[in-house]
Amino acid sequence: MPAIKFFNSMGRTMQEFKPLQPGRVGFYGCGPTVYNYAHIGNLRTYIFEDILVRTLRRFGYEVTHVMNVTDVGHLSGDDDTGEDKMVKTAKERGESVLQIARFYTEAFFADTDRLGIERPTVVCKATEHVGDMIDLIRRIEAKGFTYMAGGNLYFDVTKFPSYGELANLRMGDLKAGARIEVDENKKNPYDFVLWFTKSKFENQALTWDSPWGRGYPGWHIECSAM
């Protein structure tokens, strides 16, 4: 099988690709948040993923391509604030979150079909895997990587020394508050919410019972679990 080289963001070098299982590749690509139509910038991502999958298959690999559909937990603010984008659109249009999710999921795949993008092997919806997310959060909590603050459960990046290594990021080089407002509940500016509780979102339409109170997952943990 011909060799393929990829840029390794951790080592900042071109590196020969060696799959964990000979001849097989498992590929997870983050899918759309289905609160609106995909724009050209969004679709660029899926064109790239399609090229990658086609290339791997052309080189003889058996590829399992998994894509999620985010239908809960993606807030309007990048700093873990604001309203859930799905709920916001549902209120504006006077429809249920389920109706919004179904409509824009179908619209998304209609667009990718028109662009000639092959559909993923597996499509998984975030709302269908909340139980998996809770299980993963409990495992993270058991390892001592979390803390409660302001009614929400956070991941403490200082408890995970290798955090940022895959992207070759050093926490000391990042400037807190340069792009988003710093959350006063966080021990560290780079921590993120694993689980939001009812204490922060009194009128949230999509909530689930959990060991930390009724609420819903932060979008950072969704792809990790799926």
All structural domains of the chain: 21-127 (3.40.50.620), 130-225 (3.40.50.620)
Model pLDDT, residue 93: 81
CB within 8 A of 143, min separation 6: which ones? none
Given a cut of 80, whether residue 2 has pLDDT beyond it is no
The CA distances from residue 203 to 44, 199, 212, in Å, are 35, 10, 18
Angle between helices 97-114 and 85-93 (to 10 degrees): 100
For the CA atoms of the chain, what is the radius of gyration? 19
Lowest mean pLDDT among 5-19, 135-149, 162-176: 162-176
Confidence bin at 176 (pLDDT 50/70/90): low
111's tokens: 């667009």
* Residue bearing tokens 């508050």: 177
Angle between helices 40-58 and 97-114 (to 10 degrees): 60
Of 203 and 185, more confident: 185
Highest mean pLDDT among 9-13, 85-89, 205-209, 211-215: 211-215
Strand partners, 195: 153, 217
In whole angstroms, what is the distance from residue 140 CA to residue 153 CA?
11
pLDDT tens digits, residue range 5-45? 999 988 889 999 999 999 999 999 999 988 889 999 999 99
Q: Is 134 helix (H, G, I), strand (E, B) or coil?
A: helix
Model pLDDT, residue 178: 45
Given a cut of 50, whether residue 80 has pLDDT beyond it is no
CB within 8 A of 37, min separation 6: which ones? 104, 107, 108, 111
Model pLDDT, residue 135: 98
Of 114 and 219, more confident: 114
Given a cut of 60, whether residue 78 has pLDDT beyond it is no
Confidence bin at 75 (pLDDT 50/70/90): low
Please state the rounded mean pLDDT for residues 149-170.
87
Evaluated on CA atoms 123, 86, 180, 190, the torsion sign reads negative
Which of 125, 150, 159 is CA-nearest to residue 212? 150
Name residue 77's amino acid: G
Of 107 and 164, more confident: 107
Of 189 and 14, more confident: 14
Please state the rounded mean pLDDT for residues 100-128.
95
Of 203 and 134, more confident: 134
